Structure 1
Amino acid sequence: MTDTDHVSTHQSQEDARNEDILIYVNGALKPKAEALVSVYDSGFMLGDGVWEGLRLYDGRWAFTEEHFDRLFEAALAIDLDIGMTREQLFSALEKTRLANDMYTDAHARLMVTRGVKTRPFQHPSLSRQGPTIAIIMEHSKPSIPRPIRLATVPHQRGLPMTQDPKLNSHSKLNCILACIAAEKAGADEALMLDVHGFVNTTNACNFFIVRKGEVWTSTGDYCMNGITRRKVIQVCKQAGIPVFERNYSLVDTYGADEAFLTGTFGAQTPVGSIDGRQIGAGQMGPMTERIRGLYKELIAAETAK
């Protein structure tokens, strides 16, 4: 086995500084070994919570307003009181950043659960001590040595009336099972279809294809509406690149000129093959490279504000 036999969309360079990071847990900054939550915590016990991933560029968190909008909207949707204002939560994020002396190439995972339960059962009224808020922040520079290999799996994201895929929920078991199925098929990650059989998303990222100069992604009805996804659509429109949120099938996908993934961590990650079929030249294509450049310009403008 070589280092490139398996690749993850969240693969990063090893950084020894991450052994000494301080983690925010309910107002306190603690070393890794001491950053603990109770086994009675709703997040551990039931996956009852929501989270956001944020990326640090040149001293600024990119698209903080959008990330906080989504976090507070998700908390409202699951009737979870975060117990902090947006300003207080941002102060906690900055407190953690400064304590870890981080300026760029850092990734934060901000997690909010319903908190510690009085008894080990499901009912939310058993969570009486207030939410648990944790922020893990690591030095993190993407290091993905080759384009990602995807495999189509039978697993789907939830329907809006079951577990709405627009929620960044702590409960990710269906995505984990999709990833396991893809790995067993010899791929890196899973390509998931929607309930109608149209191409939807991967287990960890949003998915785009390029066909004859056009950029396509799913309708967004059955996937996490990623902020990077939204920004890619935005930069394409601003640059005059035809971009469509639409239904399309695996037939369309196999015949694509390029394919790429989007997410806060990796921004735009090229896809080399799907179900053993090479996509385009099997490498990052010119449209993906152009969009990556446009996105970097957007980030530069964001962090210059």
Structure 2
Amino acid sequence: MSSHSYIANKKNDDIFININGSLIKRDQAKISVFDSGFLLGDGVWEGIRFHQSVLLFIEDHLNRLFESAKGISINIPFTKKEIFQEIKKTLSKNKMEDDIHIRLVISRGEKITPYQNPNANKGPINFVIIPEHKKSDPKIQKDGIKIGRVPNLRPNNEILSPQYNTLSKLNCILASIEANKLGFDEGIMNDLYGNISTCNSTNLFFIKDDNVITSSGKYCLNGITRKKAIELCHENSIECFEKNFTFEDIKDSDEAFVTGTFGGITPVSMLEEFKLNSTDKNSLTFTLKKLLDKKIENYIKENK
């Protein structure tokens, strides 16, 4: 189980996928073996939720997409409005309206030969839009997840900015493998300086004495749900601190939760061997989740 656990849906067997503007049935959708994303993980991506016919926080997602692409010197030859229209076209073709998860991928494009230098690229970027019927498993919100430390570290900007949402996820995949070995749903990753940064696929918050604590943000993904959670704290007079801290500083926390586009706010019920109160209906985690649900509800009303 994880914050990404979902309810399987047979409708996904017959979806149309958007490849460079063409809508293609799932079983026929293909990308060249010379694609930069396949060969080298050279590209950027976004995960976007579609609820009640509204793309949630789409401005934030498209801004991050373009920032990530700029950060690794990929020029996206489309406007944000054009990408938005392609997403809507894909959803319309699939007759999708609610509980949809979209994976938007942009690679540097096709290569002449398998070689890392972008000079070996011969054409335009490739972009892919994969929409799926994907509803979060409610059991996760009820039971929470278990997290713990893994040895894998988050890089700094001089290695590769951890704030860019790139296809090169091997750092996080290896952390996920270690978490699996240790019996954790998510692995807690430190930065290079010994401070807690993030989990392998979600951002991380701790609650101690009604104070919310999260990392400085320098060495984790520029999370959109993370940002919303911090905003909710400030808007509701909840103390929230973005700072450096170690495991020793938070191992006696009362609660913890992780954030992500798919799972929203997901409670952490176990921090290694320590039991937390995050799934309690009177917990601050539960309060923040309800506040996020309300923020999403208001966003949908404003963007219908």
Give the shorter-chain TM-score range.
over 0.9
Match of 1:63 in 2: 57
| One-letter identity of the residue aligned with 1:214 | N
Matched, 1:53 2:47: yes
Deviations, residues 224-248 of structure 1 (Å, cap 9, x unaligned): 0200000010011111111110112
Select between 45-54 and 187-196 the one with higher mean Cα deviation: 187-196
Match of 1:4 in 2: none
Matched, 1:241 2:238: yes
Question: SS in structure 2 opposite 1:201?
Answer: strand
Match of 1:110 in 2: 104
Q: 1:247 to 1:65 in 2, by over 3 A?
A: same
Deviations, residues 174-214 of structure 1 (Å, cap 9, x unaligned): 10110100110111121111112111100000000111111
Match of 1:227 in 2: 224
Match of 1:43 in 2: 37
Question: SS in structure 1 opposite 2:152?
Answer: coil
Match of 1:218 in 2: 215
Distance in 2 (alpha carbons) for counterparts of 1:278 and 1:182: 18
Match of 2:11 in 1: 17
How far the C-alpha of 1:79 sits from its partner, in A, is 1.3
How far the C-alpha of 1:276 sits from its partner, in A, is 2.3
8 Å CA contact retained: 1:147, 1:283: no
Distance in 2 (alpha carbons) for counterparts of 1:251 and 1:123: 43
Match of 2:72 in 1: 78
Of 130, 153, 159, the match for 1:156: 153
How far the C-alpha of 1:301 sits from its partner, in A, is 1.3
Distance in 1 (alpha carbons) for counterparts of 2:125 and 2:278: 49
8 Å CA contact retained: 1:258, 1:285: no
Match of 1:3 in 2: none
Deviations, residues 228-282 of structure 1 (Å, cap 9, x unaligned): 0000100111111111101122123211110000000000011111222222477
Q: Report the TM-score, using the length of structure 1 for normalisation.
A: 0.95
| One-letter identity of the residue aligned with 2:269 | G
Give ranges in structure 2 of 5+ residues lacking alignment: none
Distance in 1 (alpha carbons) for counterparts of 2:245 and 2:115: 42
Task: Report the identity percentage.
Answer: 39
Question: Counterparts in 2 of 1:1-305, with a 5 A limit?
Answer: 7-143=1-137, 145=139, 146-280=143-277, 286-305=283-302
Distance in 1 (alpha carbons) for counterparts of 2:65 and 2:50: 18
Question: SS in structure 1 opposite 2:153?
Answer: coil
Which runs of 4 or more aligned residues in structure 1 lie more than 4 Å from their structure 2 counterparts after TM superposition? 281-285
Q: Report the TM-score, using the length of structure 2 for normalisation.
A: 0.95
Distance in 1 (alpha carbons) for counterparts of 2:34 and 2:237: 52
| One-letter identity of the residue aligned with 1:275 | E
| One-letter identity of the residue aligned with 1:80 | I
8 Å CA contact retained: 1:156, 1:193: yes
Aligned residues: 299
Q: 1:284 to 1:110 in 2, by over 3 A?
A: farther
How far the C-alpha of 1:75 sits from its partner, in A, is 1.1
How far the C-alpha of 1:283 sits from its partner, in A, is 5.4
Question: SS in structure 1 opposite 2:188?
Answer: strand
| One-letter identity of the residue aligned with 1:189 | E
Distance in 2 (alpha carbons) for counterparts of 1:10 and 1:24: 23
8 Å CA contact retained: 1:50, 1:168: yes
8 Å CA contact retained: 1:153, 1:182: yes
Deviations, residues 99-122 of structure 1 (Å, cap 9, x unaligned): 111111111010000001011101
